[in-house]
Structure 1
């Protein structure tokens, strides 16, 4: 459940950013109520999606079955923790990129018409930076969460030594921290808010 909550937390942030970019004039997506709705959806998904696993494990425990005989759990975890979030990531970030790209093209067209010059269209530095950031986040996410869940889906974690299983989980934790730090660094408003709080704390001290 924690893995679902962590992963879908980043998915929620990605979807929220998509709405903010696509609908910049919609005040609803800037209200606190939208934040509560998003958080509620995230926690609801984090609670609902693992229910089949919890129920099946409980049934297996009551019947005295071994958990490694439940071969569908690994592929199911792979699907809900890796495949579904990756698809949502790709769609939301793709929408963000093409929306920003269209905005850059409009600005470029207006600037060209005002100056009266005719230039060939190319990617702006903002578009390139945004594209690089999206690719970076996607690669960090996949490389971090793939090892343990691909192994579980393939069934190779059955009978695996505990230290090796924990070692497979290590990239997921590193990926989580990298994405969290990237979120704080890339979000100018959050970074400015934390900076002001830190400066105010220093003055109090």
Structure 2
């Protein structure tokens, strides 16, 4: 079986065009990533993994072509390898920057959430303090009422008790009045006796 050089050339050119297109797609993807302002870390990891597999496959195809390539073809393959390395490094740098940006944004969000959480706690504590102060001020009067401001409304039991207390007081007052009368009468008698004695002497 003879070697068909023309068929080999055609196969090489076909493979090279396919590689050129795939490398061009990598370049476009890098340009698209560079324009991204924000992207989630999960999505970045997926993009990074897909790119890794794509580059590995391209490198394997180039290595397989090198085994049977002539001098000119090897030079072309070398140029392709240089492009692959260039876009691979570019892709890594872009992904790394996007990951840093994503982490920074996530940190900012967490900081804002923490700050909001602290503010909410402070507001809650302040409201609790104000509520306690209001309850305290309502339960303790600002000043004691004056005597003439105190209105005592006796209940039925209190009225009965007042009457039961008044009775012995009345009795005590009567006794004191009686004692005073007796004392006055005694003093009157003594005065009269003194007057009589003086009259007898005269």
Name the TM-score, length of structure 2 as normaliser: 0.30
Tell which structure's C-alpha radius of gyration is larger.
2
